[in-house]
Structure 1
Amino acid sequence: MNLFQVKPNQFAKIVDLKKRDQYTNKDPVLERLELLGFRVGESLQVLEKGLFGGDPILVQIETSRFALRKNEAERIFVEIINEH
């Protein structure tokens, strides 16, 4: 499942990051997300989702919080590790 599908207050672990275009070597969005801490194996919590369609999504990794757009969150694949 992708990060955008995770419900508020759920904890998840990142299992994969997908490039927008599989034929290019660099993906600036994913490079930026990785610099911010969105790496395979990292745990996170979805805190809130926007009122209109769930966009943006607010997530927390350790003590840092990030607001991601839907197109960014859909490229981060996770598995649920804790139901709350």
Structure 2
Amino acid sequence: MAGKKGRQLRRELAQVLNHIDAAAYGLAHLTAVFEGPHPDMSEYLEGMCKGLLTLKEAGLTFWEWAWGKRPDDYNVWR
């Protein structure tokens, strides 16, 4: 994809990937908080975090398919 529309799509995908990163970071922190008092909830939160990281990987794979290679730093496109 080239041109203005391709750049716009890269910016939007970069923003989505950044939001996924932020959510995964927040869940990782929450997992650590719940680990002691509620290990079952901690495992559930850890699974959610792994799901987000899988989603991020899918987004990066899409980026690679659409534009030929993965970005070194997708935040440049934000």
TM-score range with shorter-chain normalisation? under 0.3
Instruction: Give the greater-gyration-radius structure (CA).
Output: 2
Q: Return the structure number with greater strand share.
A: 1
Q: With CA pairs under 8 Å and 6+ residues apart, which has the higher RCO, 1 or 2?
A: 1
Q: Return the structure number with greater helix share.
A: 2
TM (normalized to structure 1)? 0.27
